[in-house]
Structures are given as C-alpha cells and as structure tokens.
Amino acid sequence: MKLRELLAGLDFAEIAGDRAVEVTGLAYDSRWVERGTLFFCVRGGRSDGHDFAQGAVERGAGALVVERHLDLDVPQVRVPDARAAMPPIAVRFFGDPTARLRVAGVTGTNGKTTTAFLIRHVLESQGIRTGLLGTVKRVVGGVDEEVERTTPEAIDLQRTCRRMLDAGDAACAMEVSSHALALKRTEGARFAVAVFTNLSQDHLDFHRGMDDYFSAKRLLFTSGQAARALVNLDDRYGARLAAAIDCLTFSPSGAEAADFRALDVTFDITGSRFLCRAPDAETEVRMPLPGHFNVENALAALGACYVLGVPTEVGGAALPDADRIPGRFEPIEEGQPFAVLVDYAHTPDSLENLLQAARRLTEGRLITVFGCGGDRDREKRPLMGRIAERLSDLCVVTSDNPRSEDPGAIIAQILGGVSRPDQVEVQPDRRAAIALALSAAQRGDTVVIAGKGHEQGQELERGQKIPFDDRQVARDELARVASARLTPGA
C-alpha cells in the first residue's frame, strides 16, 4: 500500500517527502523493521522512539511517523501523538479484520482469562473456529502461541486478527486490559460483545486511583466500539456501569434484576454446579471448575455466547467438557494425602476469593504461600498480608517477581498488614517457601500457592528472568517430601 493511500482521510497527519513510497509493514520497535516498513516513533515511559529512528532507517524503514521533524532522508508523517496514530493506520493496513471477526472482549480485574477460555470453548464446541488473545497464550487458527502482554499493541493486535481471519478463524475471545484501553491499543477494533467481570484494587502504580482505573475500563463500553455489552451486576463498579449504558447483565448471586442468573450454586474439588436462568432458557450447568468465582466466569461466558448466537442451553451443555485453565485453581496431584492448588491470584480481591473457595473444600488446615510483585501497586501489599493471615491457618510469605525492588522490602510491606506475626512464616526463597508449606501439610490440609499461576519464570532486576514454574516446583518438592517421609528416621 502506498503511503498516501494508507493515510488518506486521516486529517491528523502531515506528510513531508515522497507520498508514493510503498509501505510493506508497520513497526514501533526498530528491531522489527524490514525494508519498506513504516516506523512509528512512539514515546514511552523509559525510551523515545525518535532516538531509534536512524537505526530503523538503516534497517530499511521506508518512512517514519514522528511527532517532530528528524534530520533523516526519508518521508516523514508528522502527528501530534505517534502512539495514537498507530490504531487507525494499523486498521487500514491490515484491512480492518475485526469488521469480519466476531470478537468478544473481556475486561475486569479478575476472571478475564477464565471467561475468555470458556467463551472460546463454547464457540468451538459449536464448530465456530475461535482465536484467543490473553494472558496465558494466544491461539491463531488452532495453533497455540506465546504472548508478551495480555492485550497487544495496536499494530500487533490488528496483525494478529488479520492472521486469525486468514487462518480460518471466525471469532476471537480476547482479554482487554486497562493498560491497553488507556494506551489506545484497542482503538479501531470492533467488538461484537464486551464483557465487564468486576473491578477491585490493582494497577494503582499505573492508574491515579480507583476512579481512574474504572474510567479506563469504561472506555471499552462507551467508545462506540462494542455492539453489545454484558455487565456483572453483583460488582459495585459493574452496577455503576450498568446504570449508565444499555447492556445485558449477569448475577452470580442470582439477583432478580439480572438477565443471566446463577441459582442453587454448589461446588466441590471436582467442579461447580448451578442453575442458569437466562432470557431464552433455564438450564442446569455443570463444569470442572470449582469456586464461586468460576460460577461468575461461566455465567459471563454463557451470556457472551448468547449474544454471539449460541443459545444458553447449548452453551451450558458444552461446559462439562471445558478444560481446566492453566494456573487458575489448578490442582497438583502427586499422590499426596492433601490438596495442592496453584493460582494466579495477585490482587486482594482475587486472593480473598481464592482462599474462601479453598477453605470450603478443606477438612484440615489451609496453608497459603504468596508474595507480591515488585514495581507494581504497593498499596495492595499489606491488604494481601491481612487477607492471607485472616483466612489461613499458616501463611508463608515469600518473593514473587521482585523485578527492581528488594524482595525483603516487599515482604516487609506485606507484613505491615499482619496483626499476628506468629501465624506467618517468612521465607524469601520461593522454592524453599513452597517446600516449607508442603512439608508442613498433613492429611486433609490444603496448600494454596498463589500469585504466579501459569507463569514459567521469575522476574528479577535488570530484566533478568530465571525459569520458575510454581506447578513444576510443587511437583518436585512433593516428590522430595514423599521420599523424605519414606526414609527411615526422617
């Protein structure tokens, strides 16, 4: 596509240089530039893309999108905001793929991953090839791929949706983060349905407060990008949103005002059961995902699929075959006489929901291992310490992803919320902390390892990442504990 064709009608751009230059690709990272690429000089928190423009030109960039003129001999498209210019240009370059792809966008603090997985499962059960964009993995044309961030940058998002269409996908289940909404990554994308799961404290290192966080989430529903909306009426922010927009609603507590209601909810370690009362049917639902929070996720998925044309009774019939979500209330079974659960819970609300669900499934003691990530919302650390202490019989505080922060300082902030230090063990080494918890567990106990879930690495300072998977570490330590208990005199 020629540069003038790509920018036709975009009145925010001024072009200096050859307008007929051929654009063969888009990039915002100079390392990904090839001959003919249009390079966007995006200013970020730590670097400025203008500083990498010369390198991009040397790699073959055919033109630049800039916020100020650069002394480089290539066509330059001057715009007020290079980041804001990416979505409309990417939409045009990749042929507006979400105009043909039926996209379900899921936003909220907790539940995005599970809800997106369940939406995809229901649609696939009806023969609707469905892609996936989210925290755990990306699926394009039925092929699993790794991800860097929950919601890709605008160029990557439009490119991936184009690839989905070309690979035969007819729909996409997509997690939409507040960062993505605030940073305009999803602008230009079209959503057949947008789902709001809930909102609780998180990301206050990025947002200026809860109202700012909520405002970012609202953008998915108020920007005109979503054809239909589905909102959790049980959540107080969801109730605020539902009062302000035209939407369908769901209620895992069975509120009569909701369009989709969960009634007669029960669950055990094997899964959950509930009666779903919906606009089109009343149907019994069984699924292999335990916990009230998973009932919430399932109800959201059924509502979204209803909007996408799958009757509620049909969607409910598909859920018994749903796979467990990696790192979400995931049981680790190595023949031990107690339960071990690994979960991604890393916010106060998600940790509380997790431990409450685990408590209902526990005959003996509840033992919790958790930490908090570095370079993230610091205000939630003492809150999570207080929740873990209150809901656990034994709490082991450890390191999570410390990044550039001192793990000891993070742990000290967690302990600031603890009122009974005798109930808390501190072990900064995460492997040793998991081993401590498993060694302490007896028959009938439950050990919950929270915070990292599906993650397969631990992020340290200066971007260093070492291999670390809570699930594999738990398996290794269970084998070691079992061996030690079988050894005479151990």
Mean pLDDT (the chain, rounded): 95
Closest CA to 32 of 3, 56, 58, 6: 56
Count of the separate structural domains present in the chain: 3
213 shares a domain with 103: yes
C-beta separation of 260 from 278 below 8 A:
yes
Q: Are residues 353 and 312 in the same domain?
A: no
Confidence band of 487 (pLDDT split at 50, 70, 90): low
Separation CA 59–CA 305 (nearest Å):
45
Mean pLDDT of 10-23: 92
- 186 shares its domain with 61: no
Q: Which range has the worst mean pLDDT, 82-96, 192-206, 291-305, 413-427?
A: 192-206
State the average pLDDT over residues 292-305. Answer: 97
Q: Domain check: are 310 and 335 in the same one?
A: no
Q: What is the Cα–Cα distance from 295 to 197, expressed in whole angstroms?
A: 12
| Residues 80 and 157 both lie in one domain | no
The order of strands in the sheet holding 366-370 is 330-331, 339-343, 446-450, 366-370, 394-397, 424-426
Q: Which of 70, 88, 106 is the last residue of a domain?
A: 88
Q: What is the pLDDT of residues 255-277, one digit of tens each?
A: 999 999 999 999 998 999 999 99
Residue 187 contacts by C-beta under 8 Å, 6 or more apart in sequence? 84, 87, 88, 154, 223, 225
**Residue 104 has which token pair?**
């379900």
Range of the domain at 409: 330-486
> What Cα–Cα distance (Å) separates residue 476 from each residue in 324, 333, 384, 429, 479?
21, 11, 27, 15, 5
Domain match, 311 and 224 both: yes
DSSP, res 22: B
User: CB under 8 Å, gap of 24 or more: what pairs does 6-13 form?
Assistant: 6/38, 6/89, 6/92, 6/93, 7/77, 7/89, 10/85, 10/88, 10/89, 12/79, 12/80, 12/84, 12/85, 13/65, 13/77, 13/78, 13/79, 13/85
pLDDT in tens, 47-56: 999 999 999 9
Between 334 and 205, residue with greater pLDDT = 334
CATH of the domain at 307: 3.40.1190.10
**Domain co-membership, 75 together with 119:** no
* Whether residue 354 sits in one domain with residue 306: no
Final residue before a domain boundary, out of 280, 296, 321: 321
Q: Residue 164 in 3-state DSSP?
A: helix
- Which among 303, 321, 339 is the end of a domain? 321
| pLDDT value of position 490 | 47
Same domain? For 63 and 197 the reply is no
Q: Are residues 133 and 23 in the same domain?
A: no
Residues 79 and 212 in one domain: no
Residue 455 sits in a domain of what CATH number?
3.90.190.20
Q: What is the pTM of this model?
A: 0.93
Domain match, 399 and 311 both: no
Cβ within 8 Å of residue 127, ≥6 positions away: none
For residue 151, what pLDDT is reported? Answer: 86
Q: What is the pLDDT of residues 190-231, one digit of tens each?
A: 999 999 999 987 767 776 788 899 999 999 999 999 999 999
